[in-house]
Amino acid sequence: MLQAINLTKGFKQKMVLAGLSFEVQPGELFCLLGGPGAGKSTTMDLFLNLTKATSGNCMVGGFNVALQPSKPKGLLAYVPPVLPLYDQLTGLENLHYFSTMAGLPELARADVQRLFQELGIADGVLDQPAAGYSIETRQRIGLAIAVARDAQALLMDEPTKHLEEAAARAYMTLVRAYAEGTITGAPAAVLLATDSAVLAAEFGHKVGLLAKGKLVEILEADETLPQEILERCLEFRPVPVGA
């Protein structure tokens, strides 16, 4: 569903990505693990067609993002470090707005309420203006928007960056469930950038270790014991759980 093919990206004299290649299949949570400057956000921007690769290709659902930019839009949803919502609109109104922007019909109020409950969003959020939301609530609404859009691929750029440890773990549990299809009934491909070795090792089906724009190694949960993955991730990038 998501495929990076020998991606390179340079800015002036600096090479930000150098031959990056990986795939994320439906049912997989692929954690791209790296520190500041590793190239995580640049990778996200390339998949979102916000910048152009120097060479190589980004594919979404078999479509080349740069050459067929309109095709992937209906397949993708995106959650940034802090989801920007319209502060004057309620949770229900924000969800309706982003759904209709994607060309989808409005969900019935009862359906939105059930969705919020399933994602652990408090009942009061439905009719509360977004100006009063916590960051955790905003991030969960990002997942709700992806569910409402029935997104087959989800891009997430450090979505737990501003969350406390317990909130980050609870959120990652939902993200993994979204990938596996237990929330929507259909598996999705999730690419999540993070600098938390612990979260990547605990929740990722695959962990790609990214350093200076190069993919050092891909660790797979079904081939490696969880403790071995954690030790390798901590060796590569020792950071706090909620970082």
pLDDT at 239 over 50: no
pLDDT at 52 over 60: yes
* Homologous superfamily, domain 2-81+151-236: P-loop containing nucleotide triphosphate hydrolases (3.40.50.300)
Q: What is the pLDDT of residue 30?
A: 97
pLDDT at 208 over 90: yes
pLDDT at 43 over 90: yes
Q: Are the C-beta atoms of 198 and 192 separated by less than 8 Å? A: no
Q: What is the pLDDT of residues 13-37, one digit of tens each?
A: 788 999 999 999 999 999 999 988 8
Per-residue pLDDT, averaged over 147-164, amounts to 93
pLDDT at 146 over 60: yes
Q: What is the pLDDT of residue 105?
A: 81
Residue 43 DSSP SS3: helix
Q: What is the pLDDT of residue 231?
A: 85
Give the percent of the chain with pLDDT over 90: 68
pLDDT at 205 over 50: yes
Q: What is the pLDDT of residue 237?
A: 62
- 40-54, 84-98, 209-223: segment of lowest average pLDDT: 209-223
- Mean pLDDT of all residues in the chain? 90
Residue 210 DSSP SS3: strand
Q: Is the sign of the CA dihedral 135, 50, 77, 88 positive or negative?
A: positive
Phi/psi-derived region of residue 135, left when phi > 0, alpha when psi is between -120 and 50, beta in every other case: alpha
Q: What is the pLDDT of residue 242?
A: 39
Q: What is the pLDDT of residue 4?
A: 96
Instruction: Parse the chain into domains and list their residue ranges.
Output: 2-81+151-236
Phi/psi-derived region of residue 187, left when phi > 0, alpha when psi is between -120 and 50, beta in every other case: beta
Q: What is the pLDDT of residue 100?
A: 82
Half-sphere exposure of 190 toward its Cβ, with a 13 Å CA cutoff?
34
Q: What is the pLDDT of residue 65?
A: 93
- 40-44, 147-151, 239-243: segment of lowest average pLDDT: 239-243
Q: What is the pLDDT of residue 70?
A: 87
Q: pTM of whole model > 0.75? A: yes
